[in-house]
Amino acid sequence: MIEIKNIQKSFGGVTVLNDISFEFFTGKTNLVIGQSGSGKSVLAKCIVGLHNSDSGEVLYDGRDMQSRTNSERKAIRKEIGMLFQGSALFDSMTVEENVMFPLTMFTKMSKEEMLERANFCLKRVELHNTNKLYPAETSGGMQKRVAIARAIALNPRYLFCDEPNSGLDPKTAIVIDNLIQDITREYNITTVVITHDMNSVLEIGENIMFLHQGINAWQGDRQSIITTDAKAVTEFVYASTFMKDYKKRMK
């Protein structure tokens, strides 16, 4: 479980995150949702330690990330897998080398063992015959899958996905969402998905935090998000004409 307590973050006097507290549960897909510019990605970067928050705590199964020494932080980071918005694959490496990278850096596996593990991870994300391709030679959906395979290569305890289906068609987006949910359940990891995609929310949102203007404006699950009366949430969920009509029909 990841617990965040009273996270505060400002950039140049502008408060981006204001007193955010939340619990991300193990074995569940935890979603942080909100409009663009609401502070979702900044929150994710504060949680994984890419940004230092101005105040507050981030507890990884009770271990406070910020108060630890560099080596202790590093040890926690090795337990984190992260899928970035643009996949962030190393473009000088092949698909196979990308997945093997964390194994090369942090394990004493032989090359054969690393290859075996990489093939297992690629198979798990349903990628076949792509090992020798470079990221630029693969589609957006394939790149996301490779990034997931790389993120799970070290058997992480925590998985972060920043806008995992941005730039993907709705069908591929759902496939990626389901893949994230399946992996979360299969390996019993704590998964945090940052998204503004309502399809994702309705598909995999088991534990949702709604960020609005830097504050935790609402929390719940995918059932309660469509029935809540919280103004900021309803404006977000029923932003499109189609959804507004749908709501009227439901009433």
CB of 242 to other proteins, least distance (A): 33
Which window, 82-90, 114-122, 169-177, 207-215, contacts other proteins (CB under 8 A)?
A: 82-90
Token pair belonging to 38: 């609401």
Which window, 4-12, 57-65, 102-110, 218-226, contacts other proteins (CB under 8 A)?
A: 102-110
Q: Which member of 7, 82, 100, 237 binds other proteins (CB under 8 A)?
A: 82
Q: Are strands 207-212 and 29-34 parallel, antiparallel or unpaired?
A: parallel
Handedness of CA 166, 167, 170, 176 (dihedral sign): negative
Distance CA 73, CA 41 (A): 20
Q: Which of 38, 44, 33, 32 is nearest to 16 (CA)?
A: 38
Handedness of CA 66, 106, 43, 178 (dihedral sign): negative
Which window, 5-13, 48-56, 206-214, 231-239, contacts other proteins (CB under 8 A)?
A: 48-56
Told to check if 60 binds other proteins by CB under 8 A, we report: no
Which window, 15-23, 98-106, 168-176, 202-210, contacts other proteins (CB under 8 A)?
A: 98-106
Distance CA 78, CA 196 (A): 27
Contacting other proteins within 160-189 (CB under 8 A): 160
Token pair belonging to 72: 């202790």
Residue 25 DSSP symbol: P
The smaller minimum CB distance to other proteins, of residues 106 and 120, is found at: 106
CB of 84 to other proteins, least distance (A): 4
Residue 136 DSSP symbol: G
Task: Report the interface residues with other proteins, using CB under 8 A.
Answer: 45, 48-50, 74-75, 77-78, 80, 82, 84-86, 88-91, 101-102, 104-106, 160
